[in-house]
Amino acid sequence: MMFINRLSNVFISLSIRHRKFENHAMDISREKILDRISERLAELKITENEASSRAGLERTFLSQIRRSSTRWPRVDNLQRICDALGLRTYWVTTGLGPRLIGDRDFGADVAEAPMGSWVAATGFSEPTAVERGENPYLPVPGLPPGDYLALRVVGDSMNLVAPEGSVIIVDRADTLLQPRRFYVFATPDHAEATFKRWMSRPDRLEPYSTNPAHEAIYLDAPPTVIGRVRKVMMDL
């Protein structure tokens, strides 16, 4: 399955779609990405080759990227480098938000996520309009800039991460698929939707459940990604 692998295209598209974040100093240049990685290497006192090995990549991966002025790292490989260095991929690619994986972004703007009701975690279901009640928007703190939607989960096919009745916060600005991450998917006409974990080789949408009755959905064509699930909220 083919997906966009050039980070420049991905993040330029993101910045064009979401005008409300134009005031943030987003810098997605290849040089800045490599500079941010180099800064972290200096802090950890390790070489590019050591970092590449830690990430499970070819030892010369980073040095090859640096030597080629037109080559961009694949997104999945960049994620592995960032994980190995303890860096947040979003910060490495944009310069925005918390820098380290363990950092909390207490200074982030509170996202106002409209509350919808169009995801059923047990499979595909008909979407409905955003609910109109006393609180149609849900304030969600600590999120990076994005385009957020709040959805209440129905069913138990994802109950290991989002029990029935919990609320998932979906970033519609983040549609780049990464294995083992959680997304909301739709059919090409957006008439149906489902919340699942993305897995590759082979490409499939997997349940994440204590209920063995749920099975993976294998795909014959690329899925339509509505957004990545960034947060799960629930009452205890």
Residues 87 and 145 in one domain: no
Q: How far apart are CA 120 and CA 75, in angstroms?
A: 29
pLDDT at 132: 44
CATH number of the domain bearing residue 47? 1.10.260.40
C-beta neighbour count of 197 within 10 angstroms: 19
Residues 78 and 133 in one domain: no
pLDDT at 19: 33
pLDDT tens-digit map of 68-88: 877 787 888 888 999 999 998
pLDDT at 117: 63
Residues 154 and 224 in one domain: yes
pLDDT tens-digit map of 145-185: 788 888 888 889 999 999 998 999 998 888 889 999 999 99
Give backbone dihedrals phi and psi of 107, rounded to 5 degrees, phi first: -90, 0
Which amino acid belongs to residue 38? S
Residues 192 and 117 in one domain: yes
Residues 169 and 124 in one domain: yes
Residues 45 and 129 in one domain: no
- Write out the two tokens for 229: 């699930």
pLDDT confidence bin for 188, thresholds 50/70/90: low
Please count the structural domains in the chain.
Answer: 2
pLDDT tens-digit map of 11-26: 333 333 333 333 344 5
Specify if 103 maps to a domain: no
Q: Is the pLDDT of residue 206 over 60?
A: yes
pLDDT tens-digit map of 39-61: 999 999 999 999 999 999 999 99
Residues 88 and 121 in one domain: no
Q: How far apart are CA 32 and CA 35, in angstroms?
A: 5
